[in-house]
A = this chain, B = another copy of it.
Amino acid sequence: MAISFCHVLRLPSPPKSSLFSPPLKSSRIKLSAASAPSPPPSSQMDLHNQGRAKFLEFPFVSAPHRALMVNLLSKVEDRLGSQLLPCTLPLDVQHCQNESGTSQASLHIRSGLQSSPVDFILGSWLHCKLPTGAALNITSLIAYLNLSTDAPNFVAELIQSSPTSLILLLDLPPRKDLVLYPDYLQTFYEDSQLDTHRQMLQKLPEVQPYVSSSLYLRSLFSPTRIMIRIETEEGRMEEILKDHIEPVAVEVLGFWLDHCACGGGREVKEEEKAYLKKRDELVKKKSIEIDLGSNLPKLFGPELAERVMGAINDVYNL
């Protein structure tokens, strides 16, 4: 995402986008799949609730933009909440800012219980001042599934570099090579008619296809990905967010919840698990590389960056 953003605005140094940030699993509480989860200690719930409240503020974006993000998160939590652990990142990682206060970010990560097909969900927002004086706001919600299923992940990200310019990335990135697994292509992308959503948005005169400058992201995303750029005046942008983008995002998320996160019947055979594990790990590793490696220090200073990256490296053995 960082690269795609750099492409949009031709920044000398790409700011962080949280899209593919990994979960900080050191905060994960492991519960036995067999036992019902006992409620987390109240100190952990405090941490979760405080961070969550800050995250849900989405303080720098328009009301329809905020409403869209809150709606998506609610739908995920309504459906999957009972399978998710609280977010227990340290508060200063859940919400961080640089010394001058020009960069701020909020990070909300909830890992799935061992009995859940959800690996983790990650919501975030980032606000920073651009060298031009304009503000950049990136909000995202992603969900990764674990090796109990091979169903696609979910990604929604909005990149707003001015009140009149918005990039939307909305997709179910496949977890298998679609050329090698044509049945997978058919099940999740052809039979699902997912492409109709892209076609619908593409009909709006303000909408142009958006081509990320990251070839990796272009490869990672599905053939029905929605990668569009919207250029329009401020009032109309809010209208498009409310009347067009939100309904489509809700539809795509609904499909993901029904058929991927809760679809069942996608048990992964033992011999395919190694393939899936390797691919999933590569995706996470590559995403850290693109997303955080060079950007965290620039945005939040070396100290905070080191702490966050340290936790990540620890979790992923990188």
Query: A48: shortest Cβ distance to chain B, in Å?
Result: 33
Instruction: Find the B residue at minimum CB distance from A278.
Output: B180
Q: Would you give the shortest CB distance from A200 to chain B, in whole angstroms? A: 13
> Would you call A282 and B180 a contact (CB within 8 A)?
yes
Distance in angstroms between the alpha carbons of A29 and B150 in the assembled complex: 44
From 103 to 148 in chain A, residues with beta carbon under 8 angstroms from any chain B beta carbon are none
Which A residues between 127 and 186 are near B, CB-CB below 8 angstroms?
Answer: 177-180, 182, 185
A179 touches B283 (CB 8 A): yes
A286 close to B (CB within 8 Å): yes
Indicate if A45 sits at the interface (CB-CB under 8 A): no
Count chain A residues whose beta carbon lies closer than 8 angstroms to a beta carbon of B: 24
Q: Is the CB of A215 within 8 A of B209?
A: no
Closest beta carbon of chain B to A285's beta carbon, Å: 9
> Once bound together, how far apart are the Cα atoms of A286 and B190, in whole Å?
15
Residues facing B in A249-304 (CB within 8 A) are 278-279, 282-283, 286
Residues from chain B with a CB closer than 8 A to the CB of A278 are 180
Stretch at the interface among A17-25, A33-41, A62-70, A217-225: A217-225
In the bound assembly, the distance between CA atoms of A231 and B166 in angstroms comes to 27
A186 to chain B, nearest CB (A): 9
Q: How far is the CB of A156 from chain B (nearest CB, A)?
A: 20
Those 3 A-B pairs whose CB atoms lie nearest each other, nearest first? A218-B223, A177-B177, A178-B219
